[in-house]
Each structure stands twice: as C-alpha cells, then as structure tokens.
Amino acid sequence: MSHRQLSSPAAAAVAPAVSSLQPMETGTLTALRSSRALAVGTGVRIVVSPVLMALLLSRAYTAAAIVFVVAAATDWFDGRLARRWGVSTRFGAFLDTTADKLLVATALLGLVAVHRASPWVALVIIVRELTILGLRVAVESTGVRFETSMLGQWKAMLQYIAIALAVLRPAVIIAGAYLDQWAMGVAAVVTAVSGIEYLVRSKTALKT
C-alpha cells in the first residue's frame, strides 16, 4: 500500500476540522478589530477632554467648538458601529459611558468658568451623570444588563447641542436669554427626568 493511500483518509478526516476553524478564526479577528476601532472613539473623547478645557479657558471658542463636535460625533459613530457589528461588552459599554460623561462634565465646568453656563444647571447635569454611572455599576453587579432608554439617548443629544451652542453663543436672544441658555435649561430638565426614570426602572434589580 502506498503512502498516498495511507494519507488520503487522514486528510479527508482533517479537512472538515480545518475548514470549520477558518470561519471561527476569521470571526474572532473581525470582532477584535471592531472592538479596537470602537475603542479609538472612546479614547478620543477621553484624551480631548483636557484639551477642550484648555481651549475654553483661553476663550478659543471656535477651536473648542470644533474639538467638542468632533469628540461628540465619535460617540454617535461608536453606537452606530457597535450595533451594526454586534460588538458589545459590559466593560466596553462602561468605558464608553464614562468617556461621554467626562466630555460633558469637562465642557460644563469650562463653560461655567467663562460664564457661559449656569453653575446650577451644570450641577444638575453632573450630579445626575455621576449618580447614573454609579447606578449602572450597581445594577450590572447583580447580573442585570443596564440598557440605555430612549429618553437617555435624547438626553445625550440635547446635552451635546446645548454645549455646542454655549461654546459658540450665537447672537440669538429669546425673552431676554441667549438661545444656548434656553437649550441648556431644556437639556438639564430632560437630563433630570431621564435620571429619575433610570432610578425607578432599576428598583427591582437593586432589591435582589
């Protein structure tokens, strides 16, 4: 019996196993690359936060607006790509949320320092964000996934719009207040209401 005759059955047995590994390896590499791509957006929001603060304090408002809008856009792209690629982990979601809140808090503190945001409005938004960040950790420690609500998504969009308007401060006055001041007030109200919604929704998980 020839060597070729001996090896053919073995090759036939091994071939399916090898072919089944190839899609698995390809899928794993794709998921890894997708996770790294999403991490870049999260990293951008973290890294540019002190840059944004420096620009606001130096009153370089146009540059600050550009930096903020680009950083905020990475949040939208991250969410869209994560849903498209089906790449989501609890740690990744936590880092993404933390980066969002760091960007917003930094922008608000800078705006308060240059008198373009009310310290009370900033306090409401920042306290809510820190409270919900802690709530997320507490809920997910019980094994329950902390899902973002539709109101929470609207909250984030309104915050970004209000902050961008406050940085640029267009000369639009409505009933004695700038347009960005009205926008910031609306954002603060929606932020507070969405925080209450999360607290009510999470009561059951926290009782277990």
CA distance 80 to 93: 13
Contacts of 168 (CB under 8 A, 6+ apart): 61, 62, 65, 180
pLDDT score at 208: 62
| Fold (topology level) of 3-207 | Four Helix Bundle (Hemerythrin (Met), subunit A) (1.20.120)
Question: What is the chain's pLDDT, residue by residue, as a tens digit (208 residues)?
Answer: 444 444 444 444 444 444 443 443 444 444 444 555 556 667 788 899 999 999 999 999 999 999 999 999 887 766 665 556 555 666 667 777 888 899 999 999 999 999 999 999 999 999 999 999 999 888 888 888 888 888 988 999 999 999 999 999 999 999 999 999 999 999 999 999 999 999 998 887 777 6
- Both tokens of 79, joined, read 């969410």
Nearest in space to 72 (alpha carbons), one of 200, 175, 159: 159
pLDDT score at 20: 43
pLDDT score at 36: 59
Neighbours of 67 (CB within 10 A): 22
pLDDT score at 18: 41
pLDDT score at 170: 96
> Would you say the pTM of this structure is higher than 0.85?
no
pLDDT score at 41: 64
pLDDT score at 140: 82
pLDDT score at 39: 63
Tokens 């979601």 -> residue: 93
CA distance 174 to 177: 5
pLDDT score at 25: 43
pLDDT score at 95: 76
